[in-house]
Every structure is written in structure tokens, then in C-alpha cells.
Structure 1
């Protein structure tokens, strides 16, 4: 917990010591349910649950009859400042609190110990609560585009789909196969930078260009096609704009009860945007598949491997490629923006990275698999930036059994959100949590910090439903930082940038960077 939050806690009835007591009590409980009672008085899951405080006593802000706290999710200003809101909730209520919607509660947890217990009890078919909206829309309004919700489904349908794509997506070599292609796309990106810098060598806001890079990168990796978004292709610009909008609408659309959703304007707008995105992307994927039938152009690509495994008649390759294109724009683009911001505002760390680049690759060399394996500081910069500014506020699960979190009963079927942002910026888990210290992740460095609990920092999720595209996203982030720092000394001279959590987390101000060419 940072010093400001610690100070606030000390002034309220919910003290920091109380938080620690609750947290320690929770962590002392069994992390895995279903233990057997023995003569040493081991507590069973049933006994632990019976002794816990009832779910009804979990603290919550004031809510209105019928609509509960729905207005929060309809208020763009509050969504934008969600990080501050959850700090306030933690300060007032402690490590666990809930909000009410007409059709369900959302339970928020802020401790790594509760996160560990939540994940350890998720079962064979973990259910991501936030994906319910995606699944419902695809099964209903978008069934003309998607024969299956794919990885956005739940239960056995999700498990069967994931089993087909898991190996090709998660194998380390799968992403590294594209190092040369990523290098070429970064060359395009540098040309774009040179075309948009002003006379002071500044770019007013680099974030949009990073979205364009992300879509070009995903296109090459997943459908074997360079979409030329960086060069200004119209279809690329349209996809980027519509995906941005879909994330902006997601929280508000998801708060609408399914029973009345089709009558609510924000939900109808969301469905139309998703239909537009699906139509555009599916057309590009199908085009690539048809081309492959003629010239084998997808040989070695992810889409090509999935076609080889599943066959041309299967929709699995089509849906997986379409999801990769849509999901990787804002996620990677915004994460890359924060990474550049952190390097620009920490010139000492930027210089260490530059020296590592010179040592491993040289002033003009190209990234290779061997060089990347040696670049520990580059990888640490990416990891530290995501700790400080995660583009996802947290991750969600629906409890698959009765469990105890922070001393409270949490019944089966509850929508739980682990607020990862608070854990990742908490002094209890990270020393100097408000500082950009990549060294904390490097074993052997004096500043290396051993995590007290690994569940305090899981930006890509954890377990069988961890982000399936994380290896590709990391490669993109490595290439952005490597190529730009190799070529430029970047700097930022403006007000502090925070996170805007309308949709996915993004910079809350224009990221105006200066790109000075290195000698």
C-alpha cells in the first residue's frame, strides 16, 4: 500500500492494523477446500464456512432500491476514475466489499491471499463473470457471425475450444517465430514516427499509432496478412475506432440485466458495434484462408496450424483468429503506451535499457531469439510497467463452490472481481510501489524483491483461463521498447499521466513524447 493510502487508513475507523489482522486471518485459512479432519483439529471447509461471518455482512456503499449501484456503471466520470474509487472503497470498507446490480452483486477483493483462494477453488471449468456479456451476445444477436462464442464461452464448450488452441497459442516458440516480421513492422512504425513528429521532434499523442502497430502485428501473426494500418488503410482505421468504442461501452452494457437488455439504447449500440467489428474481421480472416488454399501463405502461422489440426470445415481457426485481431488492439496498444511513458519519465532506467540493447544487439542490429533471451532488463521493464499501470483493473470469476474470503461466507455463484490494480500498487506486497523499479524483478540485483505472494501480480490472469495470447503480446511490447529506445532518446514533459478505466485502462491524457535521434 502506498504511503498516501496508508496515511488515509490511519485516520479512519478501518485501520491498517485491522486490515492486516483480517488478511492474516484469511491467509491462515486453508487455501484449498475439502481437507479432512484429523486429530490435530484441522479445520474442514464446512467448519470454516460455518464459523465465517455471513455474506450479508460484507460491507457495501449505499444502493438504491431495485437499481442498486447501477448508476455507478452508467457514470463515465466514475468509470474513468475507477482506480481512485476502489482506493476509496478499500479505505472505507477494508479488503472486501460489494456493489449491487438489479440482477446480481459484484464482490470486490483486494488481497493476494483472497485471490489465491479464489483461483485455487475455480475447478475444471473456471467461469469468467465478465465474459457473460460476450457469450450472450454471440449466442443471440451475433449467431449469424459466430457458430460458437469460442474462448468467451463457459463450461465444457470453453474447455473443448481451449483444448484445441492451447498448444499452438501458448508454446514459447509460437510467438518467437515472428521476431523478423515484428522487426519489419517496427521499421514501418519508425517511419510513421518520422512522418508525424513536429519541428520539436514531438508527437502530440503516440497512443493511436500504437493501436495501429498492434493491429498490424496481430494481422501478420494470426492471419499472415499485413493490414497496412500504420500506412493508413481505411479498414484498419475503422477496426481500431470501433474496437476502441466497444471497450468504452462494455461496462455500461454489461450492467444492463439480460431480461431488458434488448430495449436499452447502450446495449443496442454495443451489439451493433460488435456486429460491425465481427463482420469486418471475419471477412479478412476468410480472405486469408481462401488465399492459403491457393498458395499456402499461412504455412507456419497460427491460423495455418489450427487449420491443419482442425480442418477447413471447422470454425475454430476462424473464431480464434478473429478474436485475436479484436482483442489485441487496445490491450497491447495501451500497455505499450504506458511502457513508453514509464521509460520516458525515468531516463535513468531508459539509459540502462539502452546499454543492454547496445551490449546484446548493437546500435543498428536486429532482434534475435538469442539476444531476446539475454535481455533481462527489457523484460523487467515490461513487467514493472504492467504492475504500475495494468490496463485491466483486475480479473473476474464466478465462485463454483462456497468459500470463505476475508473471514466472510461467499456462496457458490457469486460474481467476484479481484482488484489487481490495488494489489499491484500495495506497499504490503511491493516496496516503494509507486516507483518504476524494473530491478525488483531481476534475480541477483540488489533491488530484487521476492514476492510475498505471487497472486499480488498476475496481469495476464492465472490458471487454465489465463490470457491465451500473452506470449504474442509480450513479444510486441519487447519489440516496441527495443526498437524505439535503440533509435531514440524519448522524453515526456507534461503533467503526470494516470489511468482512464472507461473500458480498458488507457492514458488519461495525451501521451506527448519527444523522439530525439541517437547519434
Structure 2
């Protein structure tokens, strides 16, 4: 039996370095996954850490004490959680109970142990297992594996898959989405889409320098147009002056489905017992999204089939490469990219514009950098420009520190651990309290201050992120289960942000922005940025 550390290394290397270009490669992954599963099965993961017996028992972890019968669920309706979003609840738990907190007895929802100690979070990730697990969104899992099994079959997507199935799927998609050369290939197209986005912004600006109440809708149109092109190599017309009714309904359904998943998977819900109103609305949104995207995918598939000679092997799109491997993989990944890449990217973009609007110093520094790299306002953005735009990248990172998409990262323990002196059995859901730590002055000096310099390599003072445990700031997750689309998301953000800041001065003349958490964290008020055109 090979050592565990070597097996762990082999599996991670398989995910990171696989280069797939034929059906035989997929078959090789099947063989390798079976071998790894056999090796994993030989390990006894019920062994306890050496300091287990000296540690406090699991049931003594601090946290809200459940009531008989109703447990802790009443707190969401009548207690201290009522009216609070998950970010506020997470901060409340830390302030009330300390660095480790258990929230249990939630009727149908497994215990959640919140971690607010950087060393505990590091230990969670260092021991996340050979094939990391996190609790899936059960609404999506049921929809894809039961209601729409006809489409997704045995490939419900990376967020829903676990173990050997997850390993095989991730190993297939990783070399396609995570290679830097894949990202570089799309710079020109993303620049064109960002120009169309800027044209729509200018149209609004000519009517009123302050952006309208529904400006977030335009941001969503840009993200949908961008991610659709990345996913299926197709422009669908979101940024035209009069988008089709189908596009408008699709956007509304995408926003709606995130709201429903929050109600079904995060808040207490009885949808697993009977078909609730929230569940029916979720299915309605998901059916429209799935059927619409399936139509787009089928059109893209037919185009590739009818024109196989158009693209050489060095110019194939993401969708082409997925189709070469497996049509089911292509369908699942296209739908995952187009649903998961809209609201998340939009919220990060909206938050970054807000922080720049309310912090004129960093905005000026960013514009100075962009003027050097883009002498004219209409200078096309290239891969070389993005490579040199260090402050641009730092501005986005600082936004994800102050307003991370996720309240924290979750992992299910693959073996018993001792965290903050408490026994944590195998099979427990751990959730890092990332957002609470991001706003903690002990982790980041003047943590409420927007300061992109934290993330510049040239910064060596007490503000530098180098002074913080790297496991505190993980905006795209950690390890082999980190976000597979992070390179593409950053590409979209960097290009569009550079276009706007190079062309407009941003200001904020409204009350301070409110942030909220549904399924993801982000801006909650209308995005009433005030713009003024840059002359040169």
C-alpha cells in the first residue's frame, strides 16, 4: 500500500496536469479513478489524533442551545437570527460564542461547526481528504438527478458530485478551464463584449450621469453575454438595445433561482417533505433556464458538427473541447458555467465599482495605471496589458476581501480532528467564518478600509496581506475543489473594470451601500453610481 501523502500527491497531480484530447484519455481516467478508490479503501480513516483523549468532547462546543423538539430552528423565526442574513449570523455567532461554534438541531439540516481561528481553518483544508467533500446544494442535486435525469444523467455537475465521480469529472474539465492559454485565447472576444457593455453604459450616461435603479440588470446582461460566449462560443444578444423576451426572462429566472436556493438549502424548509411554494418556483425557474440553455447548446453542437473544418486543433473553443470528450460533459459544464457565472461575477463587479466610487484615492491610482497601459480610451485590451495591470488585479482582490461571494468555505471532515481543543468526529460539516475574519483588524490592519495595496507584491508594511495566514483569504476556495472557473471570471472582471475606469470617473452620492447574503454575498441597494466622462 502506497503512503497516504504520496497517494494524495498523485491524485492532485492527476487533476492538475491531465491533458485530454481523445476518448482513450477518458477511459484512462476511469481506470485511474478505480485504482485510487481501491487505495483509499485500504486506509482506516476512523483513527483518532494523538491528542484526542486530552481534548474536550464534541457536544461541549459552544453554540446556541437547542430547545426540546424545535431545536434551534425557532431562532430563525423568533430569535436572534430573525431578519439577519448569513453574514450577520456568522458574525453574531463569533461575537457571542468565540472562535469555534456549533449550530445544530435544525431539523433535517446537519450540524454546522463554524471556524473563526485561522489555524483551525488551515487544519480543515490540510486534512480535507484525497477527494474533498462539501455538502451539495440539495435542491440542485435533486433537480438534476431525479427531475431532469433525462438531461444530466450520471453527470449532475461538479458542485453536486462527490468522491470518485467528482474526481473523474474534475479531471476531465480541469485542463480545459484552468490552463492560462485558454484564458488568453478569449481576451479579444471579452474586449469586444466589454465594448458593447460600455456602449450601453454611455447610452444611460447621456440620459442621466447617475445610473438608474435597475443598473444591476445591465451588469447581469454583460455577465450572461460573456459567460455564454465562453461556454458555447456564441453571442446571444444580451447587450443589444432591445434584447429578446427570452433573454429577459432568462435573466429574471437566474436571479430568481439563486433566491430560491437560499430559501431551500440555507434557511429551514420543508420542501423535502412536500412540494412547497418555494420549491415549485425553483423548479419553474430551473426548467426555463435548463430548456433555454439546452437549446443554445444543441445549436452550438450542430454548428460544430456542420463545420468541423473551421477550427484547427489550436483554435478550438472550450465547448469544442468538451464535445470531443463527451456530449453529456459539454451540456453539464455549459449549463453550470452559464448559471453559476452570472450572479457571482455580477456581485463582485458591482462591489468593486462601489468601493472605487467611494474611495477616490485608489480609483485615481488605478486610472493612472490604466492610462499608462491604455494611452487612448479606446485602446483594445490585450493579454500583455492585463499582465502588467497589477493595481487592477489588486483592486478586485481587495473587493473580494471586503465583499466575498461566499460567507465561508465548507468541508466535510474525512477523519477525526481536534480544532480549538475540541473533538471533531469524521463526517461533520465545517464552515470557515471567512467574512468575519476579512473584517477583523487582527487579520487585516484597518480591515474596513478599502486598500488594494494590501495585495501588491511591492507592499511590505503592516498592511500587506503577507502578514495574514493565507487560509484566511480564499475567495475561490482551496485545493483541488477550488472554483474551476476562476481564471475566466477574473478575465471578465479585469477587462470590463479597466474599460469603465479608463472612460469614466466614478462617484457615489447616495447613502452607504447595504450588503446582504442570500445564497451569495453582495450589494443589496440599487447601483446608483454617478459617472463623469474622462476627457483623454
- TM-score normalised over the length of structure 2: 0.84
1:449-500 per-position Cα deviation (integer Å, ceiling 9, x unaligned): 4133100100100011100000000011101210001111111111111321
1:132, distance to aligned residue in structure 2 (A): 4.1
- Residue 53 of structure 1 deviates from its aligned partner by 0.9
Q: 5 Å matches for 1:329-344? A: 329-344=342-357
The whole-number CA distance in structure 1 between the counterparts of 2:302 and 2:172 is 22
Q: 1:453-464 to 2 correspondence within 5 Å?
A: 453-464=469-480
Residue 505 (structure 2) pairs with residue 505 (structure 1)? no
- Work out whether residues 145 and 278 of structure 1, in 8 Å CA contact, stay in contact via their aligned partners in 2: no
Kept in 2, the 8 Å contact 1:380–1:442? The answer is yes
* Structure 1 spans left out of the alignment, 5+ residues: 1-43
Specify the alignment match of 1:39 in structure 2: none
Deviation of the 1:345 alpha carbon: 0.7
Worse overlay, 134-143 or 60-69: 60-69
Contact 1:122 1:400 in 2 (8 A): yes
Which of 60, 63, 71 aligns to 2:66? It is 63
Does 1:156 pair with 2:164?
Answer: yes
> Which residue matches 2:92?
88
Which residue among 381, 389, 414 is the counterpart of 2:395? 381
Residue from 402, 423, 440 that aligns with 1:426: 440
The alpha-carbon deviation at position 200 of structure 1 amounts to 4.1
Q: Distance in 1 between matches of 2:142 and 2:126?
A: 27
Tell me the C-alpha RMSD between the 2 structures.
2.2
Select between 223-232 and 61-70 the one with higher mean Cα deviation: 61-70
The answer on whether the counterparts of 1:108 and 1:419 sit within 8 Å (CA) in structure 2 is yes
Matched, 1:140 2:146: yes
Asked if residue 216 in structure 1 is aligned to residue 219 in structure 2, the reply is: no
Distance in 2, matches of 1:70 and 1:477, equals 38
Name the CA distance, whole Å, in 1 between partners of 2:287 and 2:223.
21
Match of 1:252 among 254, 259, 263: 263
Return the offset for 1:502. 1.7
Q: Residue 315 of structure 1: SS of its match in structure 2?
A: helix
Tell me the distance in 1 between the aligned counterparts of 2:349 and 2:133: 28
Distance 2:467 2:166 in 1: 32
Please point out which of 465, 475, 481 is paired with 2:481. 465
Cα distance in 2 for residues equivalent to 1:163 and 1:319: 15
Report how far residue 295 of structure 1 moved: 2.4
Q: For residue 404 of structure 2, what is the aligned residue in structure 1?
A: 390
Q: Is the 8 A contact 2:49 2:417 kept in 1?
A: no
Residues 72/417 of structure 1: CA separation in 2 closer, same or farther (3 Å cut): farther
The separation in 2 between residues aligned to 1:167 and 1:122, in whole angstroms, is: 22
Native 8 Å contact 1:201 1:514 kept in 2: yes
Quickly say closer, same or farther: Cα 1:275–1:70, change in 2 above 3 A: farther
Listed as ranges, the matches of 1:219-238 within 5 Å are: 219-231=228-240, 232-238=243-249
Return the alpha-carbon distance in structure 2 between the equivalents of residues 201 and 158 of structure 1.
Answer: 48
Matched residue, 2:54: 51
Offset, 1:229: 1.2
CA distance in 2, matches of 1:394, 1:239: 28
Question: Once the 2 structures are TM-superposed, how far is the Cα of residue 256 of structure 1 from its aligned partner?
Answer: 5.5
Q: How much does 1:514 deviate?
A: 1.3
Q: Pick from 261, 279, 303: which aligns with 1:267?
A: 279
**Residue number among 436, 439, 442 corresponding to 2:453 in the alignment:** 439
Question: Which whole-Å CA distance do the structure 2 matches of 1:362 and 1:188 have between them?
Answer: 20
Q: Aligned equivalents of 1:276 and 1:66: distance in 2? A: 39
1:422-463 CA distance string (max 9 Å, x none): 122222221111011101111223553413310010010001
Secondary structure of the 2:194 match is: helix
CA contact (8 A) 1:262 1:268 kept: no
Contact persistence 2:263–2:269 (CA under 8 A): no
Instruction: Tell me, yes or no, if the aligned pair for 1:95 and 1:109 is still in contact at 8 Å.
Output: yes
**Is the CA contact 1:52–1:409 (under 8 Å) kept in the aligned structure 2?**
yes
Q: Provide the residue aligned with 1:16 in structure 2.
A: none
Deviation at 1:257, TM superposition (A): 7.3
**What is the number of residues matched between the two proteins?**
473
Q: Look up the match of 1:288.
A: 300
How is 1:60-139 mapped onto 2 (pairs within 5 angstroms)? 60-71=63-74, 78=82, 81-100=85-104, 101-103=106-108, 104-139=110-145
State the distance in 2 between where 1:245 and 1:105 align.
27
CA distance in 2, matches of 1:87, 1:71: 19
| Pair 1:366–1:260, CA change in 2 (3 A) | closer
Given the superposition, is the C-alpha separation of residues 59 and 267 from structure 1 closer, same or farther in structure 2, using an over 3 Å criterion? farther
**Structure 1 residue 131 displacement after superposition:** 3.4
SS in 1 for 2:53: helix
Give the equivalent residue in structure 2 for 1:323: 336
The structural deviation recorded for 1:45 is 5.0
Uncovered stretches (5+) of structure 2, i.e. residues with no partner: 1-46
User: What pairs up with 1:455-494 in 2 under 5 angstroms?
Assistant: 455-494=471-510
Query: C-alpha displacement at 1:135, in angstroms?
Result: 2.3
Question: Relative to 1, partners in 2 of residues 1:320 and 1:449: Cα closer, same or farther, differing over 3 Å?
Answer: closer
